[in-house]
Structure 1
Amino acid sequence: MADPSNFQAGPLDRDAAFYVAGHKGLVGSAIWRTLSSAGFTGLLGRTSAELDLKNREAVFAFFAENAPRYVVLAAAKVGGILANNTYPVDFLSDNLRIQVNVLDAAREHGTERLLFLGSSCIYPKFAEQPIREDSLLTGHLEPTNDAYAIAKIAGIMHVQAIRRQYGLPWISAMPTNLYGPGDNFSATGSHVLPALIRRYDEASASGSRTVTNWGSGSPRREFLHVDDMAEACLHLLENYDGPEQVNVGTGKDVTIKELAGIVAKAVGYAGEIDWDSSKPDGTPRKLLDVSKLTASGWTAKIDLVSGVQSTVDWYRNNVERIRN
């Protein structure tokens, strides 16, 4: 077991074994790129086919064999409003099993520093904006993704419990809506920004004169490029040690209508935009208070317009092989 008294803020050992759980996903792949660029030589990754994180025995065997000194838990079952609302049992059960298995195995086999990644959906639907970290568990959740949110809240509590019971300097980070290369552009399972990119790109290619989006377009959302998120994770691992989760975002938001306009311009779509208000909007506004992260010395660097444009370019260059 690692001695928590030995932890001091500062650079991590670049040669230590470092496991990125979910290293092929949107967030995990960005973290892998960032760590590689930062000189980490002991990176460990397993695909879901190689290691099913829902299989407790397999997870413990992996940790017993590799004993990673550092872990980022970016693996999760994720999806947009439709997927979360349709399959709440899957989102609750799968994520709870992944988290419990990885966190328990990491503790059992001496992981020194671990960062658990959650989601801003952990906060109450009508939390005061911008949302502070202490808003957690102060109100009702958004019902369209409450099962996923409860699983992520359980992960935060698990990390806090490990800190209390074992004294390990593990931490949690709660990102806002993420986007970028490697995203899920599925027609039915994607989040709002990649869904808009796919929809508008296909409309532009087909010459469609009208695109219809879900909801009213009035909800406000904050978006963070995944490469910024990855940089923030490394920053927190090297500079933060506290029980409270840390919000990670830009501190700025836009309406979904404004976002749709940015995407339409990026793909070159010039047709009409309609809104189907019979579909759910979800949370009216979700903007994170990032003052804790800012005070630690980190701020986002990639603006939304250039980030969306680069993501559109990546999508078009990889459309034949990305998830559908």
Structure 2
Amino acid sequence: MTHYLVTGGSGFIGAALVRRLVRDGHKVRVLDDNSRGHTGRLHDVLEAVEFVQGDIRDADAVSKAVKGVDSVLHLAAVNGTKHFYEKPEVVLDVGVRGMLNVLDACRANGVGNLVVASSSEAYQTPPAIPTPEDVPLVVPDVLNARYSYGGSKLISELLAVNWGRTGFDRVAIFRPHNVYGPDMGWEHVVPEFVRRAVAAVDLAPTGLVPFPIQGDGSQTRAFVHIDDAIDGIVTVVERGEHLGIYHVGNPEEVSIAELARQTVACLGREAEVLAGPPAPGGTDRRCPDISRLTALGFTPRIPLAQGLPGVVDWYAARTRSVAAGPVGQAAE
């Protein structure tokens, strides 16, 4: 049994990781301020974990949370493209100050094992597909607020690696690639597509369902189901090398147009994908090379065609519930 601190442990990925660690018999402490997460994600294990309400930017709170644990899994961050554009200062503050606080707290409390969550956004536009871990990390335009998140992850990797050279037994980094699943929040492409698909289906009861998207739909991503992502992260936690960096994902590349079509198909209809202006700062292709992680024993098990329907059903039910609203009141 290992005593873990999971920062950001009420977030989407963090909560799934906490549940897995508890199920595997470990002792778990969670540090989160619930600004984007919620303890409902931990409802089935909440009595088995020690939950510490605190802000990752509060050095004292972080130090107290780190004290007495064997290992820190640092996932606290402000994710979601909407937030990158609307509050980049907060994204950077949480990302950079949080990373520094975790490193200082580990050193002060003699915790030598640290695993850090980065992101594919750290390298932004990859020079090769599938993309290995040793590509350059890039911020293409410091004036574009979108890169607040990728920049914070780039800085976090630099900090983790260089602080980790001394005073740590092991520092490992993982970069998740487009993790999806139920209750991931609404600021991501899959839940956003479901929300729009439900509305479009309701407006077009017969025939093709018009579905506008950003760009021409040829842009690609590689989506990994949350269950596979947690298997990959646990593989890094258990077997990752000191100063090792690992891509966590499923190298099944799919176009955004195809994702739109599959989303609408999960609702029993056929989409007519309509091209629109591309998002500023978007990336044309992204698909991870996961050979480093597979060498440690990881293999993704859930293809998009198998994982997407349940997630669409989860979000569609909640979209319709919100749209219906309480009796006698306007829908939100």
TM over 0.5: yes
Q: Deviation of residue 273 (structure 1)?
A: 2.9
Greater relative CO, 1 or 2 (CA 8 Å, sep 6+): 1
Whether the 8 Å contact between 1:222 and 1:287 is mirrored in structure 2 is yes
Give the Cα separation in 2 of the matches to 1:308 and 1:274.
21
Q: Deviation of residue 155 (structure 1)?
A: 1.3
1:1-324 matches, cutoff 5 A: 14=1, 16-40=2-26, 42-48=27-33, 50-64=53-67, 67-80=68-81, 82-137=82-137, 140=140, 143=144, 145-185=146-186, 190-207=187-204, 209-270=209-270, 272-277=272-277, 279-280=279-280, 282-316=282-316
Give the Cα separation in 2 of the matches to 1:116 and 1:139.
20
Give the Cα separation in 2 of the matches to 1:21 and 1:30.
13
Summarize the Cα distance change of 1:46–1:279 in structure 2 as closer, same or farther, 3 Å threshold. closer
Give the Cα separation in 1 of the matches to 2:84 and 2:116.
21
Q: Deviation of residue 267 (structure 1)?
A: 2.3
Aligned to 2:43: none
Give the Cα separation in 2 of the matches to 1:292 and 1:73.
21
Instruction: Show structure 1 runs of 5+ residues with no match.
Output: 1-13
Letter in 1 for 2:199: E
Report the TM-score when normalising by structure 1. 0.84
Give the Cα separation in 1 of the matches to 2:140 and 2:126.
8
**In structure 1, the residue corresponding to 2:227 is in which secondary structure?**
helix
Letter in 2 for 1:134: D
Q: Deviation of residue 75 (structure 1)?
A: 1.3
How many equivalent residue pairs? 300
**In structure 1, the residue corresponding to 2:165 is in which secondary structure?**
helix
Letter in 2 for 1:312: V
**In structure 1, the residue corresponding to 2:213 is in which secondary structure?**
strand
Give the Cα separation in 2 of the matches to 1:24 and 1:138.
29
Letter in 2 for 1:162: W
**In structure 2, the residue corresponding to 1:164 is in which secondary structure?**
coil
Summarize the Cα distance change of 1:112–1:57 in structure 2 as closer, same or farther, 3 Å threshold. same
Whether the 8 Å contact between 1:119 and 1:175 is mirrored in structure 2 is yes
Matched residues, percent identical? Answer: 28
Summarize the Cα distance change of 1:262–1:232 in structure 2 as closer, same or farther, 3 Å threshold. same
Give the Cα separation in 2 of the matches to 1:215 and 1:281.
12
Summarize the Cα distance change of 1:21–1:168 in structure 2 as closer, same or farther, 3 Å threshold. same
Whether the 8 Å contact between 2:171 and 2:244 is mirrored in structure 1 is no
Summarize the Cα distance change of 1:262–1:240 in structure 2 as closer, same or farther, 3 Å threshold. same
Whether the 8 Å contact between 1:246 and 1:292 is mirrored in structure 2 is yes
Letter in 1 for 2:223: F
Summarize the Cα distance change of 1:315–1:61 in structure 2 as closer, same or farther, 3 Å threshold. same
Aligned to 1:11: none
Q: Deviation of residue 221 (structure 1)?
A: 0.7
Give the Cα separation in 2 of the matches to 1:24 and 1:252.
28
Give the Cα separation in 1 of the matches to 2:137 and 2:261.
34
Whether the 8 Å contact between 1:125 and 1:141 is mirrored in structure 2 is no
**In structure 2, the residue corresponding to 1:284 is in which secondary structure?**
coil
Whether the 8 Å contact between 1:127 and 1:139 is mirrored in structure 2 is no
Letter in 1 for 2:61: A
Give the Cα separation in 2 of the matches to 1:314 and 1:68.
35
Give the Cα separation in 2 of the matches to 1:157 and 1:243.
11
Deviates most, 268-277 or 150-159: 268-277
Whether the 8 Å contact between 1:248 and 1:290 is mirrored in structure 2 is yes
Whether the 8 Å contact between 1:121 and 1:145 is mirrored in structure 2 is no
Give the Cα separation in 1 of the matches to 2:161 and 2:96.
16
Report the TM-score when normalising by structure 2. 0.82
Instruction: Show structure 2 runs of 5+ residues with no match.
Output: 35-52, 323-331
Q: Deviation of residue 256 (structure 1)?
A: 0.3
Whether the 8 Å contact between 1:125 and 1:139 is mirrored in structure 2 is no
**In structure 2, the residue corresponding to 1:170 is in which secondary structure?**
strand
Summarize the Cα distance change of 1:313–1:58 in structure 2 as closer, same or farther, 3 Å threshold. same
